[in-house]
Structure 1
Amino acid sequence: MADLNPALNAPSLAAGLAGRRIPFEAVPVIDLAPLLADPAHGATAAAIGEACRTVGFLYVRNHGVPQELVDTVFALGRRFFDEPLDAKMAIHIARSPHHRGYFPMFEENTDPTLTADLKEGFDMALDLPPDDPHVKAGVPLHGPNVWPEALPDFRPTLERYYGEMRQLAERLMRAFAVALDLSPDFFADKIDKPLAQLRLLHYPPQQGHVEEKTLGCGAHTDYGCLTILAQDEVGGLQLQNSAGEWIAAPPIPGTFVVNIGDQMARWSNDAFAATLHRVINTSGRERYSVPFFFDPNFDALVECLPSCHSAEQPPLYPPIRAGEHLLNRFNATFAYRKTTESDTPDH
């Protein structure tokens, strides 16, 4: 068991790995209560848009997701990761043709220039039956989830949480549309069957001298529209500001962290920033987090929005299908997919 006193056996950090401590107000904290009452609330959408343009990260509070549900998900995550490795490997992500299930330490490498990430995780997504048209057609990443047999409460709880996260993400996408001078429903038909992925993560404490090649999660941008992150009290998340400094993003009780992903950056012609971030767990404790990655429909065309380009600011990226982009990133970052045909990342 890891020593719970972080002062004992505290790791040393290589140059550039310490996140500078600044007041958390430097990452905006936005109250979503007005947005829950009015899905197109202009002032809240404007505040969200300003955060997306200047930071790429924000905290949200009064988001409507029950805290007891968040706490239960964390408790179940700890129970799952405490299961014997053989039990977890029985639902290894490579056994699923739809990229669902467990992945062990070093399976994922979010920064392919370095070594693999010091974390383990569990992935689920939109659960689809065999007669679903996309499943019948063999469209990648569409199908059923897989579940651990020893935890009967695991599936219903995560499915409930997934539903809450999807609803919150859809609200945020409406706010994004308003902030980008589009109709509030602009994204609706592009996210009605999303490649949305819920992930449970466990990071062991890092010991000794921590080098950049041994991070809990290497520096990266997320792949989709947005990410909604629940983090425990341990901390360890860092984001890079426009000056190239790494800034700590500590947990704030009752909030989620929201950040922009690559596909929203492409849609907005980089008006909404996809910010580099990483995780370094030097707390001396186990760290757990629950990100929800909200990606568009597989066939959604991600191309520069009409409000985000002009003769002076032409589109920075060519159009791409959302599913193609996501597959490219999975192929580049997951070890088990190296045995299959893969493409280089396009962003």
Structure 2
Amino acid sequence: MDEVFSYSKRFFDLPIKEKMKLLRNKKNRGYTPVLDSQLDPINQVHGDYKEGYYIGVEVPDDDSDAEKPFYTPNVWPSTDILPGWRQTMETYHREALEVAKAIARLIALALELGGNFFDQQEMLGKPIATLRLLHYEGLISDPTKGLYGAGAHSDFGFITLLATDDVAGLQICKHKDAKPQIWEHVKPLKGWVSITLRLLIIEKKMSYTQSIEVVFIRQYIIHASFW
């Protein structure tokens, strides 16, 4: 994990001119600059004070899946600038996906669906697995002024693995529809991975999603989401 954070920092320490050469493409691969995203436009005066880098499942251009959304070759920094960077991120992406699949099997067993339920081709057998490296600027969030490292949001994926450094910054709201919302700080534990789930609950022909809303103030994080 330390190696992944080290390589992540090396990328974000590059001059902005170099990072902009790898700007995110239409299939969500590559670099996203500070203020590029705005997760909570109702409460934010402008974009998030973070920069990021998106990596997904590597699919060659000549593969039939390359026509689908979210499947495409990744965008990689030059080996002259960051030797070993691609190999490190590909290894972490692959290992994080295996962890997510193991968690999904436990969920399936708990729901009495059979351990391999989520391994089906249309689920985690052929997932949309996104690895995001995120670097939050040093500006401290000030909700009274609409300033956030990352605005309040619920993760899109079925399973999100969140590895953080030892800088405090993550807050969660367990009941996002509560009035007023209650936000709790999450103590940073270096080397630990937080897990958030977005489960589809089906009961008496009624479906709804349940998730935890999160907000970030400042820190480096490694964010891996799996659909």
Q: TM-score range by the shorter chain?
A: 0.7 to 0.9
Corresponding pairs, count:
214
Match of 1:288 among 210, 213, 220: 220
Q: Report the counterpart of residue 228 of structure 1 in structure 2.
A: 161
Identify if the C-alpha distance between structure 1 residues 143 and 258 changes in structure 2 by more than 3 Å, giving closer, same or farther.
same
Shift of residue 253 of structure 1?
3.7
Identify if the C-alpha distance between structure 1 residues 207 and 166 changes in structure 2 by more than 3 Å, giving closer, same or farther.
closer
Q: Report the counterpart of residue 37 of structure 2 in structure 1.
A: 108
Unaligned runs of 5+ in 1: 1-69, 282-286, 296-347
Identify if the C-alpha distance between structure 1 residues 274 and 197 changes in structure 2 by more than 3 Å, giving closer, same or farther.
same
Shift of residue 234 of structure 1?
0.3
Shift of residue 206 of structure 1?
1.6
d(CA) in 2 for partners of 1:180, 1:267 = 11
| One-letter amino acid of the counterpart of residue 258, structure 1 | I
Residue deviations 1:121-176 (CA, integer Å, cap 9, x gap): 000000011232211xx211211001111112110000000011000000011111
Match of 2:186 among 238, 249, 266: 249
Identify if the C-alpha distance between structure 1 residues 266 and 97 changes in structure 2 by more than 3 Å, giving closer, same or farther.
farther
Identity %: 35
d(CA) in 1 for partners of 2:72, 2:124 = 17
Indicate the RMSD between aligned Cα atoms, in angstroms.
1.9
Query: 1 or 2, which has the higher strand percentage?
Result: 2
User: TM-score scaled by structure 1?
Assistant: 0.58
Larger radius of gyration: 1
Q: Which runs of 4+ in 1 moved over 6 A?
A: none
Matched, 1:259 2:196: yes
User: TM-score scaled by structure 2?
Assistant: 0.88
Please list, as runs of the form range in 1=range in 2, the aligned pairs for 1:34-53 lying within 5 A after superposition: none
Q: Report the counterpart of residue 75 of structure 2 in structure 1.
A: 146
Shift of residue 211 of structure 1?
3.2
d(CA) in 1 for partners of 2:173, 2:145 = 15
Query: 1 or 2, which has the higher helix percentage?
Result: 1
d(CA) in 2 for partners of 1:234, 1:201 = 13
| One-letter amino acid of the counterpart of residue 27, structure 2 | H
Unaligned runs of 5+ in 2: none
d(CA) in 2 for partners of 1:108, 1:266 = 29
Q: Report the counterpart of residue 15 of structure 2 in structure 1.
A: 84
